[in-house]
Each structure stands twice: as structure tokens, then as C-alpha cells.
Structure 1
């Protein structure tokens, strides 16, 4: 990735809530991080929908995006993603059409099929999420029709009609790749936490892609865990906050972001270490030089049109510095 042909980089922010912190503080820090990302030259700033999790502040995703949009002026803002089975296409069309009216030409809508929670969430949402996930493709088509101005079922969505929202399909398996290819939409793969089917999904998407009015050729974005610091050792130390969060989530005990721990990996049991190593197999963690080399290798492997960087640490300033160090590194001439 030289400065003349650099793969665009974007940011995925889960908006973590720190131990001892609050949702309000996390949202304030997210706006600051988005401003740093914008100044540094990142293409997009995405927020993911999660519910019922004490350590993640982005559940009301469209509201959070309005906050991020108001704090920035040109970076694209978007959902990475909205879990469509949790909602009706009509409501999401209204919300993201409204965002486009507020921030014209800057809004992305990444759509996922997974509910992101268990049956208790279905009860809280008063929705049959399992059944809704089975009609995900139809709901995506309905949503696109709403943005095109169609009054489906005799009901118009004036906020959505004509909105220039850029729709994406998200996935962590081959299902999303097939759907994105069939509909001619850009596709983003969640390789930062589910890398197993990355290469297969990318191949299916490219091989089966059908051009559409939206897109004339495949556009593939892959996610990667990134943490940059002055040294490899310091970067791995900072990344241990994210490591702790991942192990806690997969162990059924999610919580708020914890301070980093030196030598954290040495404290893990074998099955926990194996679980973490699988997730970390798609990562670039270390000094700026190490991160640059890792990103270059990932682009060679995936031939991705864009990368979206995921990662977090306890100190928001360290996260923002990581983003700046990463962008500075990839812009250095080869």
C-alpha cells in the first residue's frame, strides 16, 4: 500500500463503555475519535448495533450516527451494521432517510441477518427474530425499494424516498456473499471476529456478482483488528483490553472494557487461548512498521477494495493515536 495506490481504510467503532465510565462519556469519546479519523483521512466511520450489553454504547445506532455526523463534516458515517431482523424495513428506511437529509451523501447502511442476542431480546423487541431472519433477503429488497420512492403496501415513506443511502450487505459466512452478489450491492465481511470463511466468501461474492444500478462491479471490504503503538510490545499490551472483552464475551460473561494487562495471554487456559488466537488470526498489532506490513499482507491475501479497522483499548486517546499512527504508516512511500 503505497501513498499512490493506498487501499482506503475505514473505522468500525463498537463504542465501548469503560469500567468506571458511562454511556455518556463513551459517546463523547466516539465523537472525538470520529473527528480524528476524519482529519487523518479515513473513508468511513461505522457503528455496530448491539443490545443488552453493558459494555457497548451503540445500541440506538441511528441516534448515535446523528451524533457522529454532527461532530464531523465529510467522513462517511454508517451502520456496520443494522441487524435487520430486529426491525421493520419501513422504520429503518425512515431513520436512514432522515440521516441522509441531515448529512447528504455521507450515509452508509450495512445490513446484517444475525439478531446479535438471544431469545430475551426477541421478547424485549416484541418480534419473532428467527422468523424475520428467514425473510432477510425480501426485507433488503423492500428497504431498497423504499429508498427508490416506492409506496409499498399502499404506504409511502417520505423521509426515505430518494435518499442517497449507500446500502451494504454484511456477513460472517457465505450467505451474505451470495445475497450481495445477487443484488449487486457492496459486501463487507466480519473477518475481525469470524475469519473462518473469509476467503470462501470473498470468492463467492466476486464470482457470482451481478451488476446493478447501484454497482457495476464487485466491491469488497474486509475487517481486521488493528492496534498501533510505538513498539510491538506496547501495542499488544493495549490490545489486551480487546482480548479480555472477546474472551469474556465468548465465555458468556461480557462486561465493560477493562484496563490492559501485561502478559494477559499467559493467564489464559488452553481453550481460551485457542479461541483468542482464531479471532486474532486477522490482525495487525504492533509498531507502525509492523501494522503496515500486516495490512499489506492482508490486502494481498484478500484483494479487498477497502479495509475496515476494528479494535479498542481502555484509554480512548491511545485508540485515537493508533488510528493516526496507522494512517501515517500506510501513507509512507514504499
Structure 2
């Protein structure tokens, strides 16, 4: 974990598939970003589990993590996150045990309880596994027991090989208070998706800290805040790049799922006043601007949340523009306290 007074900066990548492109191109760009992130000093690089979404390629999350880890050398690679109720805990223990065996000391296991999909995909994924994530604490306990033989397993005849005895950092991820409270009670690090649920950010962090109990993993709370951020050399360029993610969320609230659209010069003709208000509320914790503006806004978020780490998600259509955005933010990192 971060032991200095500076705030650690990491990346959450959705392996976005841009309009007219393919998952293969998306994976190539994701690895290229991870290699640049390693060079620029980012601490970790996470990918997220989503299903039945034409614009996101990271559904086979463990496979993508292996691809990224194989193509990099030092940066931590992990899940932001694996949606545990979609899987048998033994399978996740084996997958991440395999990853840790191949890339020792570099793998993170971030866990969520949402489906990472729509209801139709959730039903297909979770047949026989439960439906709503209510059994997440039990699934988490079972998963942790496979890594720690001393704790025993649900079925003592079943062992995770590889996985058993490995010290893989487990994070709980959330966009509400459920995982925040559980992470605190278990003494685990907690990551909040403010880019999904900005209104619940501060209450969830308060709940996490107030419920925190020291553990073998952590002596004190450790908070990572997920932030949607786009930086450019000019404010105008950043605002234009940000219209791709604005269009994506606009399509979501209209019930449409598609690939990441190219930026537009203005959103005025694309949304109604009501839709604009909904999109802007969703991105109330987002950061868009030039280097100085982004630096100031990120520092404000750190001051408000007391975050130990920020994990940045940038949905930018043009790959070179996305690289430039993350390069600018890497230059900001030493300034954040």
C-alpha cells in the first residue's frame, strides 16, 4: 500500500470498443496503455468484468489480466472487479492463483457483488449461483478460505491448486454502503466507484471508516476512489474528448447499448435539458480540463474524500488522445497530497 504522504494514481480500463472497431483492436490498445502507464509510474492497472455490452471487451477478465501482465514487467495488474456472485469461488481462486503463480507479486483481486450486466445476462451467468448478490459475504468467505488453508474450506476435500497459500491482495469494490461496511468489518481495502454513484461516495467512505477493524491485511483504512478523468493540453480539447463518454451514458439512460462513439463538437443537439441534467449529475465527480484544471480538481477530490489512491477511468475515443490524457495526469501525480 501507499506508505508516503503522496496520493497513488492507478488506472481502471474498460477495454472500450470504439465504433467501427473490434475487440482485438481494443485489447491491443489496452496493452499499449498499460505499457505506457508502467513507464509513467502508475501503480496498478485494473480491468473490469462486464457482460452483454457491445462497447466493453473485458468480459473474460482473468484472461485479459494475464494478457496485460504478460506484456508488462512491474505494474500491478488486477480486477476492478470480478463480480463474485457470477462465479464459483473455487474457480476464481484457481484463476487468480494461476495468475499469481505466473506473475508473482503483481496481481490484485478486486471483488464486487453487482452482476456487471443487464438482467438477461445476469440470469444466464448466475444460474444455480444465486441471483441478487445477497450471498456475497458467504462467497467471499469461501473464496478467502481457498487461499488460506488454516481457515479451512467449505468442503475440506476441495483445494484450490494453484491458489492455496498465496497472498493475493483482495479488495472490495462498491457503489453503495453494503461493500463499504463489509470491507471495514473485515479490515480490507475498499474502492468506491464514484464514476458510477457519485451521490453515495462520501456516505460510503464514512461507513467504511466507522466500521473498520484492523486485520492481518490492514492496520488502518485504505481508500481508493474511482474517478472519471480526462486531461488534454487545452480545456477545449478535453471537453470535446469527454463527449464520447457523455454520449455513452446518454445512450444508457435511453436504454441503448453500443460501442464508444466518436467525440462531437457540441452535445446541445443530442440531449434534452432533462437528459443533460441527468448526464451532468452522473459525472459530478468527473474531471475534465487542462493540466492545471485537472490537478486542482483531483486535489479537491482527495481533500474531500481523504483518498489514499485514485484510480482513473478515461473513456476517450482516440487512442493517442487517451494516452496523452493519462500522460498529463501522470505528471500531476507528485503534486497530489
Which TM-score tier does this pair reach, normalised by the shorter chain?
over 0.9
Q: In structure 1, what is the Cα distance between the partners aligned to 2:336 and 2:228?
A: 23
Q: Which residue of 2 aligns with 1:58?
A: 58
Q: Which residue of 2 aligns with 1:208?
A: 211
Q: In structure 2, what is the Cα distance between the partners aligned to 1:191 and 1:10?
A: 15
Q: Which residue of 2 aligns with 1:42?
A: 42
Q: In structure 2, what is the Cα distance between the partners aligned to 1:264 and 1:26?
A: 25
Residues 232-273 of structure 1: CA distance to partner in whole angstroms, max 9, x if unpaired? 111010111111111112221010011100112553112211
CA contact (8 A) 2:17 2:57 kept: yes
Residues 135-160 of structure 1: CA distance to partner in whole angstroms, max 9, x if unpaired? 10011111111111344412111211
3-state DSSP of counterpart to 1:221:
strand
Distance 1:297-1:266 versus aligned 2 partners, 3 A rule: farther
Q: After TM superposition, which residue ranges in structure 1, 4 or more long, deviate above 4 angstroms? A: none
Distance apart, 1:313 and its partner CA = 1.0
Q: CA RMSD in A?
A: 1.6
Q: TM-score by structure 2 length?
A: 0.94
Q: Does residue 1:240 correspond to 2:213, yes or no?
A: no
Q: Which residue of 2 aligns with 1:12?
A: 12
Q: Which residue of 2 aligns with 1:103?
A: 103
Q: Which residue of 1 aligns with 2:265?
A: 262
CA contact (8 A) 1:85 1:133 kept: yes
3-state DSSP of counterpart to 2:133:
helix
Q: In structure 1, what is the Cα distance between the partners aligned to 2:185 and 2:153?
A: 24
CA contact (8 A) 1:104 1:164 kept: no
Q: In structure 2, what is the Cα distance between the partners aligned to 1:265 and 1:311?
A: 22
Q: Which residue of 1 aligns with 2:188?
A: 185
Q: In structure 2, what is the Cα distance between the partners aligned to 1:96 and 1:135?
A: 21
Q: In structure 2, what is the Cα distance between the partners aligned to 1:260 and 1:187?
A: 33
3-state DSSP of counterpart to 2:245:
helix
Q: In structure 2, what is the Cα distance between the partners aligned to 1:283 and 1:6?
A: 21
Q: In structure 2, what is the Cα distance between the partners aligned to 1:194 and 1:128?
A: 29
Flag structure 1 segments of 5+ consecutive residues without an equivalent. Answer: none
Distance apart, 1:331 and its partner CA = 2.9
Residues 269-300 of structure 1: CA distance to partner in whole angstroms, max 9, x if unpaired? 12211111112110111101111001000000
Distance apart, 1:129 and its partner CA = 5.6
Q: TM-score by structure 1 length?
A: 0.95
CA contact (8 A) 1:115 1:129 kept: no
Distance 1:102-1:171 versus aligned 2 partners, 3 A rule: same
Q: In structure 2, what is the Cα distance between the partners aligned to 1:272 and 1:204?
A: 31
Q: Which residue of 1 aligns with 2:29?
A: 29
